Chains A and B, each alone.
Chain A
């Protein structure tokens, strides 16, 4: 109990209360700050095989980077306390984008500094602190764009700005000392080919998977009795390990190639693209059929009855009523299938089909984490790009059908 002599501060004059308006942003900044304080920003190892020793941001990078990162972090945190406005969210996204690039630059600069006058066998890799900081600023960019209800154009503009900034720094050789960049330089000639091959594999698998899976899904909706057995087979396929499937496919595909030379000339054989594509198509069937059943089967039967009452034929009902109404679910399914296929295509390297998995498996064999990342990071990038593209296509198409 306070004494009667104590004046009651603030009893009459109310100061504007400090209030957190954006909890997501404030949590992101706090998490990033804790990560920087407690985790290594980069790790330094005497050679490629040994785990590195963590080095904190302020010890690894030029102090100017530390100050700039702290400044922009504080600025980002400050925006969380300001009452929300659209312009504010855009500003927060821009600050976070700058922070994202600053973190990348700081990592490159740290590696350069730690490699000077060191044995060339020494490896500077990206530490846990770096990943948390980069992830937090990336999420802050997305949070800002989402709250500002940014359109496709501004989203693309931010993505392009970050990509151009990254490319300019890479071109200037800022990242050259990082272990990841050194793995890339050793395999520079193979990298573009692997990335293209990965994309081709995914694209070539999605087509047949949709062409087979969609009719199968529609058939399963029309004849509910079939659903049990269709899903039983597809579920079973999903559980066969890819490496076992590849082993099983070599002999029959080789036999096909020998008996049909024209197919062999197209590149069909027991190893390479053919078995990899078959495996990817088989794995993609389950999600395609599932979302077809969910989409077409989920259309309100009263709406279909009404269409029938209006005198629409069966074909008209399907194309003009059921398909447009199911489109959002079908496209969401396509998104899942594509992202899943981008991840799964990594195993194609095990049957000689190439792609980004080549680096992943070579890195796993040598226990070289940065070589694994050289395969994994572009795959993640591809998945994010595909997701962004399909999400916006879905939004665009659904807006049109709703009109």
Chain B
């Protein structure tokens, strides 16, 4: 381990690799020694490694504060600004961790439907789904067990928009992998015509699926933001300012497009990250 190097990590998934590489590129460009631990592991491993001081910073989602601090039922997480302020306050007080500026994107749970599902308006929202279901439209959703059971996920959608999915309208997969649910919907496996997805998933357009908008805010907001150990920021105070314009530039559409380059076209996450930063003139 290089002495004094800032250890940049990320989660194992596509967006983790993308954002982790962006953070590492930006910090390294400022002449700070960086050790890359990109795609270190699943959320619990990366979070534990940060708390144990084994890594220095990684991109995390504001809404996961609900799980980290066991406050799943708190409505604060459903508001982007308030949720960010809350997780920032809690992590600073309890763990000496600093949440840097988040991206104006929301990688929350969404329900995506096949393009050939009839009877939806041009602007597809969950209200339309409630109307479609009330008329007895054929519907089968592929989703993870967590999405189906967690009070903040499907039950929150059902409560807010006034519909109820019967057991035979659900195909529950034990893992939480949206790649599997999206493919089930795209290929109509077992009659599935809708899938649990994440807002910034890049695959939706390529698979002919569209996400239903949650305009009543039923879901927790998951905005990506770098979270760092305060001790490291004290040593390298410039990090916050270096990352701020990067995350500010990452809108939902931008993240979807970049994720698609990795997941659909199969490009390398590091190359996509560097390419994006250069195109935005954030890197020379």
Contacts and interface: CB of A to CB of B under 8 A. Distances in A.
A88 B26 CA distance: 65
Given A254-B53, A258-B53, A49 B41 contact: no
Interface string B45-74: 100110011110000000000000000000
A250 interface: yes
B48 A49 contact: no
Contacts, number: 109
Interface residues of A, number: 39
A55 to B, nearest CB: 18
Interface stretch (A60-68, A231-239, A266-274): A266-274
Interface in A317-369: 349-352, 358, 361-362, 364-368
A186 B267 contact: yes
A308 B245 CA distance: 81
A366 B179 contact: yes
Contacts of B53: 254, 258
Contact of A352 (B37, B180, B187): B37
Dominant secondary structure at the A interface: helix
Contacts of B266: 48, 182-183, 186, 368, 371
B44 A247 contact: yes
Given A49-B263, A251-B52, A254-B54, A246 B41 contact: yes
A51 interface: yes
A351 B177 CA distance: 19
Nearest to B41: A350
B165 interface: no
Contacts of A264: 1
B274 to A, nearest CB: 13
Given A50-B183, A365-B179, A271 B268 contact: no
A273 B70 CA distance: 31
Interface string B214-250: 0000000000000000000000000000000000000
A48 B266 CA distance: 7
- Chain B interface residue count: which class? 35 or more
Contact of A243 (B9, B42, B49): B42
Given A250-B49, A271-B37, A271-B40, A48 B265 contact: yes
Contact of B177 (A48, A352, A362, A365): A365
Q: Provide the main secondary structure of the chain B interface.
A: mixed
A287 to B, nearest CB: 26
A367 B268 contact: no
A49 B178 CA distance: 12
A279 to B, nearest CB: 13
A362 B177 CA distance: 12
B9 A352 contact: yes
Interface string B1-23: 10000000100111001000000
A38 interface: no
B187 A366 contact: no
B183 A254 contact: no
A113 to B, nearest CB: 21
Contacts of B45: 243, 246-247, 250, 271, 350-352
A265 B3 CA distance: 9
23 contacts: A47-B206, A47-B264, A48-B263, A48-B266, A49-B182, A49-B186, A51-B183, A121-B264, A247-B48, A250-B45, A251-B48, A251-B52, A257-B54, A264-B1, A271-B41, A350-B12, A351-B41, A351-B45, A352-B37, A352-B41, A352-B49, A364-B177, A366-B179
Interface of A: 47-51, 120-121, 182-183, 186-187, 243, 246-247, 250-251, 254, 257-258, 264-265, 267, 269-272, 349-352, 358, 361-362, 364-368, 371
Interface of B: 1, 9, 12-14, 17, 37, 39-42, 44-45, 48-49, 52-55, 177, 179-180, 182-183, 186-187, 203, 206-207, 262-268
Given A350-B42, A367-B183, 16 more contacts: A47-B264, A49-B179, A51-B183, A250-B49, A250-B54, A251-B48, A265-B1, A271-B45, A271-B49, A271-B55, A352-B37, A358-B39, A361-B12, A362-B39, A366-B179, A368-B263
